[in-house]
């Protein structure tokens, strides 16, 4: 166990600092929100140049072979800067699935395209009314046909799908047990995407599949293995999002710390009032405990599934609640200005709310952790 | 950053566990497990210190030259955790974790030679005389005076909340030796023998049936001048050092982890309307929250132990341990009580040790939970009330 950053981690964070501090802040965020995809394609290209998109890919597959800690540290920086790029869905979630692809040659090729910044991949798994932590699929079906499949069904709120070139879709395979994960072109006959913005400026889509014809090699992984890989991928996405939440909280605290020293009422900085100081202290405690809990999740990221998922759910409880405490109090200490789109705190508030509800919300993770304790 | 636990530490844990298992007398363990109040079995604390000392493990966190083990912070963490898990008696925290480090850091050779062995050997229980009736959160305003007359200090005043003073052979006191300077500058750190003429101790009955907290009255108490620790006027600095030196202790992490396991046992053992308390979704959710927060605290402790590099002062990270740790102590004890429901209302006298024999209705885990939960309200008051901690933290972290 070592809390000190390695040389590679220091380099990673330095590069993140340089790129992200130049391009962030309310004006930048509002500009990106108005973009078609919700982020700057030019900056995505820089993510690729800096090697960030190859970070979690093993060296054997042409990547940087970064650890989960490396990925988390980068995501803390992305969270601080409220980056809206589809980093988690492409570089964490999809890369993890593609790494497990049965056809290794194909995997290397796809991961190479992602690393170069020319391909983005999103996961389409969630169906209306389904449990967000379950990997079983109810409605989306792949029917074997010739050497390939015909895919039908519907997915909702596929995060970052509007800017993705390819989709990983979970489906039941007719006549077979369990799950299949299929890779398909996002722009393809029979695929229709209804894209929309989320409150934090990121994008998602509801997707319908109407008899989409797929070749045999579209099936990346199937059966129990697919379920396992999907659960791993979702847990890793949770870790990356929690890291972003920690970054966002720490940045929000800094913003608030500065604001309460500048804002004057009754002839004094509001930060000189004990009521405000105690709120700020609570926010610091929450963010500090949140980072601790990210470490707990990281320490258990490669453990057997039961241990790993319990640790991640426990972390999501602490980080989810801390995110609420920090962002809600952050608005409170800003008074009316906290409710405007012109102050940063409202942007952190919205991002933290999104993270808390993605890949299982606070209530579901509380339930999952509780069940693991008393199982 | 690489956060997986070192496999060697797991080996160390096994060794420590076996070591404790081999030397902890079963009757001590039993009394500790079944004691019905926080401070029952004080004698066992000292007896256990003697046993640990025979094996060179009484003060593992001290420098090796004074009897420490030279362990890493994580090894110390594991040792403490295993002691609590094994239901070993508590350390005499006042001696081993407060006074000891002050003496070996600031004290004269005379003080080191005289008192460090006494602490290691568990020769006596140590009282901590800091608070006064008029000086709680505002400790620097303390008024108990010590006037140097010849080679003796003459001490007059009153202390309060002095834990265990009625059973303590010795105590360490903050006294005012100079009234002409800034309050913090006029305070000195004095070691006083508790049977010195002029000292009167009154035990204060508590809401949990114990009388562990005391008032100490000092009336012309003569104290040899060589029992002054370090320099006169530096007492405030030493007291702050003492509190900061053991900054992870205030988290009560080992204690809370053990008590959470106990809450788990209660939730598994108790039924309401035919359903295990553990299967009540509302209880389970609350338990999950508490355990998650305790895990976070554990990692926060590790971060302080490892001196993680941070953007904010390390003292801010330590302050988190005190605030969260004290809240969690209370939350864990309240979980125990809520799992017991109305059964938690039965009063078990703190005096008889051990408590009545367990029955099916009144299992072993019932007696003591409420007495401890009641006095745990103190956790957010002593060592600087939670509100004072928040004032300090706001200043450290945000410069407010």
In a domain, B18, yes or no: yes
* pLDDT of amino acid A69: 97
Residues of A in contact with B288 (CB under 8 A): 314, 317, 366-367, 369-370, 373
Strands B271-272 and B214-224 turn out to be unpaired
With respect to residue A27, please indicate whether it lies within any of the assigned structural domains.
Answer: yes
Q: Is B109 left (phi over 0), alpha (psi -120 to 50) or beta?
A: alpha
Joined tokens for residue A295: 């470490």
Cα distance between residue A140 and residue A208, in whole Å: 9
pLDDT at res. B91: 84
Q: Which of B153, B151, B155 is nearest to B142 (CA)?
A: B155
For residue B309, the distance in angstroms to the closest alpha carbon of chain A comes to: 7
In tens, the pLDDT along B363-373 reads 999 999 999 99
Q: What is the C-alpha separation between A59 and A74, in angstroms, rounded?
A: 18
Q: A48: part of which helix (H) or strand (E)? A: helix A41-49
Q: How near does any CA of chain A get to the CA of B98, in Å?
A: 25
Q: Is A224 on the interface with B (CB under 8 A)?
A: no
Measured CA to CA, the distance from residue A181 to residue B244 in angstroms comes to 54
Whether A289 and chain B come into contact, CB under 8 Å, resolves to yes
| Assigned domain for B98 exists | no
Domain extent at residue B272: 247-398
How far CA A62 is from CA of A116, B96, B385, in Å, comes to 11, 55, 56
Contacts of B293 in chain A (CB under 8 A): 289, 317-318
Residue finishing a domain among A222, A242, A277 = A222
Looking at the fold, whether A206 and A337 belong to one and the same domain comes out as no
Nearest-CA residue of chain A relative to B314?
Answer: A288
Name the closest residue on chain A to residue B399, using Cα atoms. Answer: A257
How many domains, in total, are found in chain B?
3
Do A87 and A172 share a domain, yes or no?
no
Q: Are A261 and B399 inside 8 Å of each other by CB? A: yes
**Between A and B, how many CB-CB pairs are < 8 A?**
160
Q: How far, in Å, CA of A29 to CA of B243, rounded?
A: 45
Domain match, B75 and B167 both: no
Mutate to test the interface with A, among B394, B395, B399 (most CBs of A within 10 A): B394
Model confidence over B332-352: pLDDT tens digits? 999 999 999 999 999 998 877
- Beta carbons of B293 and A370 less than 8 Å apart: no
The residue-averaged pLDDT of B228-251 equals 89
pLDDT higher than threshold 80 for residue B285: yes
Does residue A217 sit in the same domain as residue A271? no
Q: Are residues A247 and A322 in the same domain?
A: yes
Residues B144 and B220 reside in one and the same domain: yes
Give pLDDT tens digits for B1-27.
999 888 899 999 999 999 999 999 999
Q: Which domain holds residue A273?
A: 225-374
* Domain shared by B287 and B372, yes or no: yes
Of A176 and A126, the one with more pLDDT: A126
From CA B229, how far away is CA A219, in angstroms rounded? Answer: 75
Q: Do A208 and A76 fall into the same domain? A: no
Task: Please tell me the predicted confidence (pLDDT) of residue B352.
Answer: 73
Tell whether A374 lies on the interface with B, counting CB pairs under 8 A: yes
Q: What's residue A364's pLDDT?
A: 97
Last residue in a domain, options B180, B210, B233: B233
* Domain identity same for B188 and B327: no
* CATH number for position A22: 1.10.540.10
pLDDT tens digits for range A48-88: 999 999 999 989 888 999 999 999 999 999 999 999 999 99
Closest chain B residue by Cα to residue A369: B288
As to burial, measured by CB atoms within 10 angstroms (0-12 exposed, 13-18 middle, 19+ buried), residue B26 is: exposed
Environment class of A62 (CB within 10 Å of its CB; exposed 0-12, middle 13-18, buried 19+): middle
Q: Any chain B CB within 8 A of the CB of A261?
A: yes
What is the structure's pLDDT at A369? Answer: 98
Give residue B158's pLDDT: 98
Q: Are residues A230 and A369 in the same domain?
A: yes
- pLDDT level of residue B129 (50, 70, 90 thresholds): very high
Contacts of A7 in chain B (CB under 8 A): none
Q: Does residue B130 have a pLDDT over 90?
A: yes
In 3-state terms, what secondary structure has residue B308? Answer: coil
- Domain end: A70, A92, A119, which one? A119
Same domain, A272 and A338: yes
Cβ <8 Å between B289 and A276: no
Residues B356 and B306 in one domain: yes
Looking at the structure, tell me whether residues B394 and B299 fall in a common domain.
yes
My answer on whether A169 and A302 are in the same domain is: no
Q: Indicate whether A90 belongs to any domain.
A: yes
Distance CA B249, CA B224 (A): 31
What is the per-residue pLDDT for A331?
98
Same domain, B273 and B378: yes
Query: Which of A248-252, B34-38, B74-78, B134-138 has the weakest average pLDDT?
Result: B34-38
Residue A48: inside a domain: yes
C-alpha–C-alpha distance, residues B203 and B192, integer Å: 18
User: Tokens 């008590």 label which residue?
Assistant: B259
* pLDDT value at B247 more than 80: no
Domain check: are B258 and B367 in the same one?
A: yes
> What is residue B354's predicted lDDT score, i.e. its pLDDT?
78
What's the gap in Å between the CA of A46 and the closest CA on chain B? Answer: 25
Write phi, then psi, for A3 (nearest 5 degrees): -85, -15
User: Are the C-beta atoms of B175 and B235 separated by less than 8 Å?
Assistant: yes
Q: Is there a contact between B126 and B170 (Cβ–Cβ < 8 Å)?
A: yes
pLDDT band at B39 (very low <50, low <70, confident <90, very high): confident
Residue at A238 is within a domain? yes
- Cα–Cα distance for residue pair A138/A37, rounded to 1 Å: 30
Q: How far is CA B156 from CA B133, B161, B166, in A?
A: 14, 17, 19
Question: Nearest 5°: phi and psi at A310?
Answer: -65, -45
d(CA A277, nearest CA chain B) in Å: 5
Over range B64-87, report the average pLDDT.
95
Nearest-angstrom CA–CA distance, B186 and B180:
8
Please indicate, yes or no, if residue A51 is contained in any of the structural domains. Answer: yes
The pLDDT mean for chain B works out to 95
Name the domain count of chain A: 3
pLDDT at B25: 97
Inspect the interface and report whether the beta carbons of A289 and B291 lie closer than 8 Å.
no
| A176: confidence class by pLDDT, cuts 50, 70, 90 | confident
Q: Which residue of A has its CA nearest to B396?
A: A281
- The answer, for A307 touching chain B at a CB cutoff of 8 Å, is no
Angle formed at CA B220 by CA B215 and CA B223, multiple of 5 degrees: 90
Is the pLDDT score of A362 beyond 80? yes
Asked if A367's CB is within 8 angstroms of B4's CB, the reply is no
Contacts of A9 in chain B (CB under 8 A): 1
Shared domain check, B294 and B215: no
For residue A293, the model assigns a pLDDT of 98
In contact, A297 and A307? CB cutoff 8 Å? no
* Mean pLDDT along residues B225-248: 90
Condensed to tens digits (0 to 9), the pLDDT of residues A273-329 reads 999 999 999 999 999 999 999 999 999 999 999 999 999 999 999 999 999 999 999
User: Looking at residues B236-262, what average pLDDT do you find?
Assistant: 89
- The single residue listed with the structure tokens 């801390």 is A322
Final residue before a domain boundary, out of A83, A101, A119: A119
Tell me whether residues B323 and A285 touch, CB distance under 8 A.
yes
Contact predicate A221/A153, CB 8 Å: no
Check the CA dihedral B379-B385-B388-B390 and report its sign: positive
User: Is A263 part of the contact surface with chain B (CB cutoff 8 Å)?
Assistant: no
Does residue A2 belong to any structural domain of this protein? no
Rounded mean pLDDT of chain A?
96
Domain assignment of residue A1, yes or no: no
- Residues A180, A156, single domain; the answer is yes
State the burial class of residue A347 (Cβ atoms within 10 Å of its Cβ: 0-12, 13-18, 19+). buried
Partner residue facing A373 (CB), from B287, B390, B393: B287
C-alpha to C-alpha distance for B393 and B80, rounded to whole angstroms: 27
Dihedrals phi, psi of B351, to nearest 5 degrees: -65, -55
One domain for residues B215 and B317: no
**Could you say which of B204, B233, B262 is where a domain stops?**
B233
Q: What is the DSSP string of A302-321?
A: TS-HHHHHHHHHHHHHHHHH
By C-alpha distance, the chain A residue nearest B397 is: A284
Q: Is the pLDDT of residue B92 over 90?
A: no
> Does one domain contain both A113 and A161?
no
pLDDT classification of A230: cutoffs 50, 70, 90: very high
Q: Is residue B369 part of a domain?
A: yes
**Digit-coded pLDDT (tens) for B354-391:** 788 999 999 999 999 999 999 999 999 998 899 999 99
Instruction: Tell whether B64 is covered by a domain.
Output: yes
Residues A56 and A184 in one domain: no
Q: B318 and B287 share a domain?
A: yes
- Select from B164, B198, B233 the last residue of a domain: B233
Q: Do residue B320 and residue A366 have CB atoms under 8 angstroms apart?
A: no
Any domain includes B100: no
Which residue pairs from A264-271 have beta carbons closer than 8 angstroms and sit at least 24 positions apart in sequence? A270/A333, A271/B394, A271/B398, A271/B400
Looking up residue A367, the CATH number of its domain turns out to be: 1.20.140.10
Distance of CA A275 to the CA centre of its chain: 35
Alpha-helical (H) ranges within A219-273 are: 223-262
> Distance from A43 to chain B by nearest Cα, in Å?
27
Contact A289/B391, CB-based, under 8 Å?
Answer: no
Contacts of residue B87, Cβ cutoff 8 Å, sequence gap at least 6: B29, B32, B33, B258
Return the pLDDT at B10: 93
Paired strand residues for A191? A209
Which ipTM did the prediction report?
0.96
Residue pair B164/B260 in contact (Cβ under 8 Å)? The answer is no
Which residue in A1, A6, A289 is closest to B300 by CB distance? A289
A150 occurs within a structural domain: yes
Question: Are B335 and B293 members of one domain?
Answer: yes
Question: How much is the pLDDT for B75?
Answer: 94
Clarify whether residues A230 and A211 are in a common domain. no
Find the CATH number of the domain harbouring B223. Answer: 2.40.110.10
| Dihedral sign, Cα of residue A216, residue A220, residue A226, residue A230 | negative
Decide if B1 contacts A9 (C-beta within 8 A). Answer: yes
Q: How many helices (H) and strands (E) does chain A have?
A: 12, 10
Contact B231, B172 (CB under 8 A): no
pLDDT digits (tens, 9 = 90+) for B168-177: 999 999 999 9
């Amino acid at each position: 166990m070592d809390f000190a950053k390695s040389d590679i981690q220091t380099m990673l964070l330095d590069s993140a600092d340089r790129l992200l501090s130049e391009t962030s802040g309310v004006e930048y965020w509002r500009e990106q929100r108005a973009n078609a995809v919700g982020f700057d394609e030019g900056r995505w290209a820089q993510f690729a140049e800096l090697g960030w998109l190859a970070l979690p890919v093993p060296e054997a597959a042409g990547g940087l072979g970064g650890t989960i800690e490396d990925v988390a540290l980068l995501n803390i920086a992305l969270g601080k800067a409220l980056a809206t790029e589809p980093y988690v869905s492409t570089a964490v979630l999809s890369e993890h699935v593609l790494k497990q692809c049965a056809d290794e040659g194909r995997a290397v090729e796809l991961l190479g395209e992602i690393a170069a910044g020319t391909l983005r991949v999103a996961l389409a798994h969630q169906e209306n009314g389904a449990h967000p932590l379950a990997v079983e699929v109810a409605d989306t079906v792949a029917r074997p046909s010739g050497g390939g499949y015909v895919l039908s069904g519907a997915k909702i709120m596929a995060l970052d799908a509007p800017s993705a070139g390819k989709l990983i879709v979970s489906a039941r395979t007719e006549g077979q047990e369990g799950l299949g994960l299929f890779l398909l072109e996002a722009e393809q006959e029979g695929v229709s995407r209804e894209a929309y913005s989320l409150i934090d400026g990121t994008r998602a889509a509801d997707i319908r599949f109407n008899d989409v014809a797929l070749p045999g090699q579209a099936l990346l992984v199937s059966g129990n293995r697919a379920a396992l890989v999907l659960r791993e991928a979702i847990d890793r996405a949770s870790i990356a999002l929690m890291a972003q939440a920690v970054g966002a909280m720490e940045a929000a605290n800094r913003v608030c710390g500065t604001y309460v020293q500048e804002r004057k009422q009754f002839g004094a900085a509001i930060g000189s009032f004990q009521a405000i100081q105690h709120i700020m202290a609570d926010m610091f405690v929450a963010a500090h405990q949140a980072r601790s809990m990210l470490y707990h999740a990281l320490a258990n990221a490669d453990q057997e599934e039961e241990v790993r998922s319990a640790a991640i759910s426990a972390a999501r409880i602490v980080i989810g609640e801390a995110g609420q405490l920090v962002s809600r109090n952050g608005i409170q200490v800003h008074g009316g200005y906290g409710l405007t789109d012109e102050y940063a705190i409202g942007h952190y508030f919205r991002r933290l709310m999104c993270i808390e509800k993605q890949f299982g919300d606070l209530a579901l993770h509380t339930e999952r952790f509780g069940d693991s304790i008393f199982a | 950053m690489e956060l997986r636990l070192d496999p060697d530490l797991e080996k160390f844990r096994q060794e420590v566990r076996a070591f404790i298992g081999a030397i902890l007398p079963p009757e001590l363990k039993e009394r500790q497990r079944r004691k019905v109040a926080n401070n029952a079995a004080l004698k066992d604390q000292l007896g256990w210190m003697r046993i640990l000392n025979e094996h060179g493990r009484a003060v593992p966190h001290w420098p090796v030259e004074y009897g420490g083990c030279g362990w890493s912070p994580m090894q110390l963490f594991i040792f403490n955790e295993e002691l609590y898990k094994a239901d070993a008696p508590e350390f005499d925290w006042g001696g081993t974790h407060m006074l000891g480090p002050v003496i070996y850091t600031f004290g004269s050779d005379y003080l080191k030679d005289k008192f460090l062995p006494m602490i290691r050997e568990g020769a006596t229980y140590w009282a901590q005389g800091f608070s006064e009736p008029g000086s709680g959160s505002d400790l620097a305003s303390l008024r108990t005076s010590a006037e140097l007359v010849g080679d003796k200090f003459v001490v007059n005043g009153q202390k309060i909340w002095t834990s265990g003073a009625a059973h303590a052979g010795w105590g360490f006191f903050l006294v005012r030796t100079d009234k002409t300077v800034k309050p913090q500058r006029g305070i000195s750190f004095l070691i006083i023998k508790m049977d010195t003429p002029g000292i009167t101790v009154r035990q204060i009955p508590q809401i949990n049936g114990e009388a562990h907290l005391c008032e100490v009255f000092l009336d012309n108490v003569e104290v040899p001048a060589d029992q002054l620790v370090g320099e006169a006027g530096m007492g405030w600095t030493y007291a702050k050092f003492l509190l900061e030196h053991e900054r992870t202790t205030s988290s009560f992490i080992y204690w809370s982890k053990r008590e959470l396991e106990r809450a788990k046992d209660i939730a598994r053992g108790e039924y309401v309307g035919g359903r295990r308390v553990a299967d009540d979704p509302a209880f389970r959710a609350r338990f999950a929250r508490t355990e998650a927060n305790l895990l976070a605290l554990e990692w926060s402790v590790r971060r302080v132990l490892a001196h993680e590099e941070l953007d904010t002062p390390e003292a801010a990270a330590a302050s988190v341990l005190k605030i969260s740790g004290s809240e969690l102590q209370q939350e864990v004890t309240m979980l125990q009580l809520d799992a017991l429901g109305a059964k938690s209302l039965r009063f078990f006298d703190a005096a008889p040790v051990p408590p009545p024999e367990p029955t099916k209705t009144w299992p072993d885990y019932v007696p003591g939970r409420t007495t401890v939960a009641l006095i745990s309200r103190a956790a957010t008051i002593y060592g600087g009330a939670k509100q004072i901690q928040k004032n300090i933290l706001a200043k450290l972290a945000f410069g407010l």
